[in-house]
Every structure is written in structure tokens, then in C-alpha cells.
Chains A and B, each alone.
Chain A
Amino acid sequence: MTETRFEPRIVGFFCNWCSYRAADLAGTARIKYAPNVRVIRLMCSGRVDPTFVLKAFACGADGVMIAGCHPGECHYLNQNHKTMRRHALLRHTLRALGVADERLRLQWASAAEGAQLAQAVDEMVAAVRAAGPLQWPRHLREDAPGLDGLQRAAQARDRAAGAPHGEARA
């Protein structure tokens, strides 16, 4: 990483059928774009639990891109409409938390739109670079004493409830 320029870390949640394939196509077509979006493949953008996005920020992401099929072209009929709803609510919530809009982007890309996806990535990287580092982990650490207390309380509650899986939470 160069010292002169801030290289944002952006987590991409891409659906298996359209947007992940669009990214594949961008590569196959040797379209060059910023390497700052690191892609996690999910079957559908509808799988993007809002807590995934919060977890990514908590783990140090400076931005999150959710990418799915165009409305009407979802491989699961209309699950990307649910993504749209969640995205609207999540954006509202993030605003309340002081997270700038450009740090969360919802992008439609059909499997044929490698160039468009690459362009969207470049745009987002430029916008997040301008916004600067988010640094949630540092803030979390500074608030750690209070958080630890909360976490202990939550764990105690889980133990009392006999949570079967102990599913990971951000």
C-alpha cells in the first residue's frame, strides 16, 4: 500500500448469478479497475443480512458494495426487491450513525455488464477515498470498556437461554 494515498478497503457482497459473473466478465475482458473491492460471493443479494454490512464496517471496512441482478432479472424472481428495501432502511440507519451515504452502495449489474460494474467500482473507490478512513475498529476499541460490559451481558443471556448454535454475531 502506498503511503501517499489512502487505499480504502471495500467489501463487496456480490450475487452468484449476475454481479459475480459481471465481475468475472470484467476480468475476462481485461477491464482494469481499482483493486479495492474485495468480493464475497453470496447466492443472492437477498442473502445480505444488514448485520453483514455492520460487521464489515466493524472489522475495518471503509465501504460496502452490495451488487445484485437488475430488478426483474433476479435469478430468484424478485429477491433483489427485498435487498432494495433492506438497503433503504440500512442507509437510513447508517446515516443516523454518521456513516456517509457513499460508503454503502447498491449496484445492479447483469452478467453482461462487466464494464459497467468496473466503472461503478471505480466511482465508489474514488468517493470513499475522498471520504477518508472510517475507522470503526479504533472507535470500538476506544469505547471498549463499555462494550465489553455489554458483550458479557449478552453472553450471559445467551448462556441462560441455552442458545444452541452460538451463531457468530458482529
Chain B
Amino acid sequence: MTGGNGGDRPRVGVYVCHCGTNIAGTVDVESVARWAGESLPGVAVAREYKYMCSSLGQDLIQQDIEKEGLDRVVVAACSPHLHEKTFRRACAKAGLNPFLMQMANIREHVSWSAEDRALATDKARAEVAAAVRRVEHHRPLEPVKVPVNPATLVVGGGIAGIQAALELADAGYPVYLVEREPSIGGHMAQFDKTFPTLDCAACILTPRMSEVGQHENVTLMAYSEVEEVTGYVGNFHVRVRRKARFVNEATCTGCGVCIEKCPQSVVDEVFEAGLGYRKAIYRPFPQAVPKFPVIDKAACTYFQRGKCKACEIFCGPKSIDFQQQDEVVQIEVGNIILATGYELFDSRRLPQYGYGRLANVFTSLEFERLCNAAGPTNGKIVLRDGVTEPKRIAIVHCVGSRDKNTNEYCSAVCCMSALKFGHLLMEKTGAEVWSFYIDMRPLHKGYEEFYHRLLDEGMRFVRGRVAEVTDAAREAGEEGRLIVQYEDTLIGKQRRLPVDMVFLMGALEPRRDSKQVGLRFGLSCSMDGWFIERHPKLDPVATMTDGVFIAGTCQGPKDIPDSVAQGAAASARVQGMISKGSVLVEPVVASIADERCSGCRICNTLCPFNAISFDAEAAVSRINGVMCKGCGTCVAACPASAISGAHFDDTQVGAEIEGILWDALPERGMAEVTP
């Protein structure tokens, strides 16, 4: 490939696109092209054409590169986000380094947003002048090739993480699956049935859990957390803390005698959502993977009072180890998939619904445990007293969703969960079930049909937000019951409905520590706290950090099929990287000129990706080109101009500023502005 400054002034070709009438309708493209050819220094060829992105338009550029000896190209057309790759490729085909091409955005930023033709044409000229002046200073760049470690880290052992881990492991690649809780399974393990098919959640999930647990390619690290991530795409170094279980995994058989013998019971706030009890030494649920129990130090009689050791006494293989310490493990991986899931909205934040104050107001997660045959009531739907069957039940939608006071977004799954609840409640109790919704949103395959099925089954639907759930009886028949105060917006009336039981469809919220976790892995969060994907439509599982992918509800509320699809998609992206063996990294990175660097270290603290380190021996700072993402913040900060940002260096941006203001110094002319 040719390119670069051969000493002579570069020969620039300018191509102004009509985009049919999209640009030409508002901008006088002929005059812009003519003016560029006649007045702009360095321009050897200037043309306009109907559609530059068509193959004929691209041919035009290629022919000129070959015949006219162009070594710089400016395409004035649409946004570079649309066609920069197209025109870079066209240049590369003709033997010109693709980074010697610059686009001027005269469609989105000019013709589509301006009304006055003369002003729009003026702005287009400025954008073209800026591109021409800038491109002269471009230098040829080559992408950097980096090898990819075939091992992958999956963080989070819910259904999305399990799917991602299994697909990678089945493809023959090593996987480290790190889970914070003592068992994998995530929220799905707590569910009773899944909508709309009413499959038993455990029946479809637990086989996958044991498959992951036994897979020869999977290293399962449950009850562990990632502490630190360094390195870059293809070569991440990860430090994992394996929390002490106080059980020796090498000898434990998972028989469960220790759990049976433990005298200390505590409320299980996690798996049983506060409805049931567990022992101080426990397994979250019978099918837990891994099968090893864990001692809850805060609840254990021995740890608190120094006496007991019942578990140790009865353990056959002598696997209880009260001295066990956390273990810190270092692993090396090429890619990372984050599937850290969601947290359920804390319904106490909306006191008008009475959760935590009125005994018979329940959360959706509590419903799942009440309904589950392995749950605290053996699947019987009863009031908080443990015996009374409800006669009438209210389900309140959008608790913490679609509400400017809490979360503006729709949590996507609650409408369908509510329908599932309705079906199961009517089936199990024969009670009347009332659903209070804003809009019914059964979006996917078979969902609308399920909604109709519930309509046929006699579930009652009221469109309107519930104002209050109270135990203050006002009318006859309300004493001793819960009263739902609501507006039926379809008839425009305020109503009261006495019920026995209320379920709140709480929002799906980001994990409380999602910001910190995001920072650890180089991801950013939206204002809501969900991880941001690389592109909301076209790149939903990749992130801005190369080699780090996201799957499932950590990216935003979604149901099980969507989480599984994302887990599979993320694993496919990783497999693509592994089978390629190496990745090309964009060469838009910063570098430091040693002879200019004073070693002041101002730049050291500015890089969020830790790409800058200080070489104490040479007393200069250095940038790791693979870790650098090319934001340019350090370039702007260097007081000695020692740092240069490839493709966005001071000369290039400076030239662009001069060009874009070409008409601001009429009497001096653009050429004179150069310092």
C-alpha cells in the first residue's frame, strides 16, 4: 500500500455525493464540488456523483487513485458511522491505505437538518474544507494483531451464564464459570413454572446445572467473586476470590448429614425470599450445583460462641474445616462474558402498597416460593398465617416500573408473570384473581395466546394503576381484609375492592453493585444501571471493551428465552474470536514520544483502562497500545505534547479547525492560517 507524505503536497480527491435528492435537494452539490476543485489547496480532483456508495461511485474513487495518482480521498456524503468502512475498503482495494480517507458528513449534519439552501451549502463547504485540510495530515495506519487465549471467563451462573458456558464447553473450549452465591442457577432456580408453556422451571434448569457442574471443560467456581481484571482482549488476567465454605470440597460427598444435624435455623432471605428457614450449614436448595454445603459464619453456633461442632462430629469423611481461609486464584482468559443478572425491586420503597407492613402483601418472588412444591408451604397458596386459603387475590402490575418516581422503563416480564400467577392461583385455590395493569404487554411467541387463555379462564383484568392497598375498612365487607383502591380507567371510576391477598409485580432492577462491577470489567452503565451494549440494535452482546461481552438481564430486563439467546450469542461471538486465533485491534491509539516526555505522570491517572504506566528506569510514561481505547484524554492533558493520538493528533485536529473556519478569515485566505 502506498500513502504517507512523500515530501510533495498530497494529491486529494474530493467526492461530493448527491445521495439522490437527500443531499442535493438542500445543498448545491455541483457548486461545492466545483469550488473544492478550484479553491481548496491540495485538491487534484473534485467530482460529484448521484450515489457515491454505489459500486459505480466507488469505482470512480478507485480509478482516480490509480490514474490521477491520488494519495488522499475525501468523501462528502452521509455520516461516517454509516459508510466510513465502505469507502475505506474502496481505497484499500485501489492500494491506498484506508486511513488516508476522510468523510465529511453533509447529509445527517447538513442537508437533513438545515432548511435554507444557501446556509446549508455554506456549511457543506466548511465540512469539506475541514476534511480536505485534515486528510493532508493523515498517516497510514495498520491494525494491530493480538493472539487470543482460548479460555473464557463467564461471570454469573444464572441461565444466561449457564447457556454461554455450556455452548463454549461443548465446542471444546475451556470455561471458568464464577458465581457469587453457593450454587449456580440464579433466579430461574427459584421459579416454580415458566410462562407461557408452564414448564416446571427446575425440570428444565437442573439438568443444565448438573451438565455444567460435570463438564470436563468447565471449571466451576461457585461462592467466588472476581476481584480484579487486567490485560486486554485475548489476554485477560483475572483474580478470583474463592470464599471459604468451611467444607473441604475434595472429600465432601454432599450427603447432607451435616445439614440435618445442625441445630441452628435462620430465615432464608435469599433463596426462599424470607418465607422459609435454612440451617447455619446449608445448601440453598436440594439440587444445588455444586452439591457442597457452606457454613454461614454469622449464624453458626460454633463461630459465634465457640461451641457445637455438630456438623463436624457427624461428618463421615471429616470434610468440615473450621480453619478454611478464602483462596485467591489467578486465571488467564482470552474473553469474558458477564451475565450477572438483576435484582428484584424492593417493594418497601412504595409504602402505599403496604409491603412489609401488611402481612398479606407479597412480592412476585415470594409467590414463586409459595407456589413451588419444594417451597416453604409445599406448594400450598396460603396467607402469611400459613393456613388460610385466599378467596380473592389482587395482582398489581408495574410496581417500580413505568413510573418516573422509581424506574421509567418497562420490566418486560411482569405482564407474562402475572398471567402465569393468575393461572396457577386459580388452578390451586379456585380464588378470584384480579389483575391491575397499565397495558398488557405479551410480546413474544405464544404470549398473546396465553393472555387470551387467561381471559377465557376467567382472570379479571382492570386497566388502571392501583393507588393504595390498605387495611383501613370503610365499607361493609371490608373488615379484616385488604382493600385495593384503584381507578378503572376504561370506565373512568374510582373503586375499592376487598381482597385477601395481594401480589406486587416488582420491577427488575440492575444489581446494586453494577457500577462497580462495570468499572472492574471496563464497562459503562446506562443512567438506570444496566450495562451498555456496543450498539443497541446491531451489536447487542458486545461492549465497548473488546473481549468483554454481556448476556441476560445485566443488559436490561428480559425473559428466559431472550436471556438464553443472549448467552448463546455471546458464546458464539467468543467462539468466533477463538477460532480466528487472533484479533485485529483498531490502530486509533495514543503513543508517547520518549524524548518529549518529562515524566510528570499527569497522564498516568487519567486512563480508566490502565493503559498508561510509568517506566521508572527511563523516567517516562508508556502506553500499552493494545489496552488503549483511543479516547485521547491523555493526549489533551499532556503539557509537553509528548502524547500523540493516532488519527486524532494535534496537527490533524488543528488542521480540521482551520478548515472548518475557512470563511472566517476572508481577507487572509485559508492557506495563511497555518501557524
Contacts and interface: CB of A to CB of B under 8 A. Distances in A.
Nearest to A49: B636
B410 to A, nearest CB: 16
B192 interface: no
Contacts of A9: 661, 663-664
A78 B664 contact: no
Interface string A1-43: 1000001010100000100110111111011110110111111
Contacts of A149: none
Contact of A47 (B114, B118, B119, B632): B632
A61 interface: yes
A27 B636 contact: no
A79 B661 CA distance: 27
B658 interface: yes
Nearest to A62: B664
A151 B675 CA distance: 9
Contacts of A73: 524-527, 532
A79 B123 contact: no
Nearest to B122: A1
Nearest to A64: B657
A170 B654 CA distance: 8
Interface in B360-376: none
Interface in B601-623: 606, 608-609
A28 B648 CA distance: 26
Contacts of B595: 164
A87 to B, nearest CB: 12
Contacts of A38: 123, 126-127, 130, 660-661
A80 to B, nearest CB: 9
B630 interface: yes
A30 B112 contact: yes
B187 interface: no
B105 interface: yes
A27 B633 contact: no
Interface string B648-659: 111101111110
B660 A167 contact: no
B81 interface: yes
Nearest to B636: A49
A164 B596 contact: yes
A104 interface: no
Interface string A99-129: 0000000000000000000100000000000
B574 to A, nearest CB: 21
Nearest to A151: B675
Interface string A58-82: 0111000000001011111111001
- The residue among B105, B127, B654 with the most chain A CB atoms within 10 A of its own CB is B654
Interface in A136-158: 137, 151
B113 interface: yes
Given A32-B114, A79-B631, A40 B653 contact: yes
Contact of B524 (A7, A11, A77): A77
Given A1-B122, A38-B123, A72 B527 contact: yes
Nearest to A70: B527
A27 B109 CA distance: 6
A168 interface: yes
A72 B119 contact: no
A55 B588 CA distance: 23
B113 A35 contact: yes
Contacts of A49: 635-636, 650, 653
Given A35-B110, A75-B524, A82 B123 contact: no
B108 A52 contact: no
A106 to B, nearest CB: 14
B527 A11 contact: no
B331 interface: no
Contacts of A23: 108-109, 113
Contacts of B629: 76
Contacts of B80: 41
A47 B645 contact: yes
Given A73-B532, A79-B608, A167 B656 contact: no
Given A59-B661, A72-B527, A73-B527, A39 B648 contact: no
Contact of A55 (B515, B544, B654): B654
B608 A78 contact: yes
B648 A42 contact: yes
Contacts of B608: 76-79
Interface string B509-526: 000000100010010111
Contact of A82 (B81, B126, B526, B637): B637
Given A40-B660, A168-B650, A27 B113 contact: yes
A40 B130 contact: yes
B632 A42 contact: yes
A152 to B, nearest CB: 12
Contacts of A21: 81
A47 B653 CA distance: 10
Given A43-B630, A49-B636, A60-B661, A167 B113 contact: no
B107 interface: yes
B326 interface: no
Given A35-B122, A75-B524, A27 B654 contact: no
B122 A82 contact: no
Contacts of A47: 631-633, 635-636, 645, 648, 653
B79 interface: yes
B105 A39 contact: yes
B113 A74 contact: no
B115 A79 contact: no
25 contacts: A17-B544, A23-B113, A24-B105, A27-B79, A27-B107, A27-B113, A32-B114, A32-B115, A35-B110, A42-B632, A46-B606, A47-B632, A49-B636, A59-B673, A60-B661, A70-B527, A72-B525, A73-B532, A76-B629, A76-B631, A82-B637, A164-B596, A165-B644, A167-B651, A168-B675
Given A9-B663, A167-B641, 6 more contacts: A35-B120, A47-B632, A52-B654, A73-B524, A77-B609, A168-B654
Interface of A: 1, 7, 9, 11, 17, 20-21, 23-28, 30-33, 35-36, 38-44, 46-50, 52, 55-56, 59-61, 70, 72-79, 82, 86, 118, 137, 151, 164-165, 167-170
Question: 10 smallest A-B Cβ distances: which pairs?
Answer: A60-B664, A27-B108, A47-B632, A46-B633, A27-B112, A44-B631, A49-B636, A76-B631, A77-B608, A35-B114
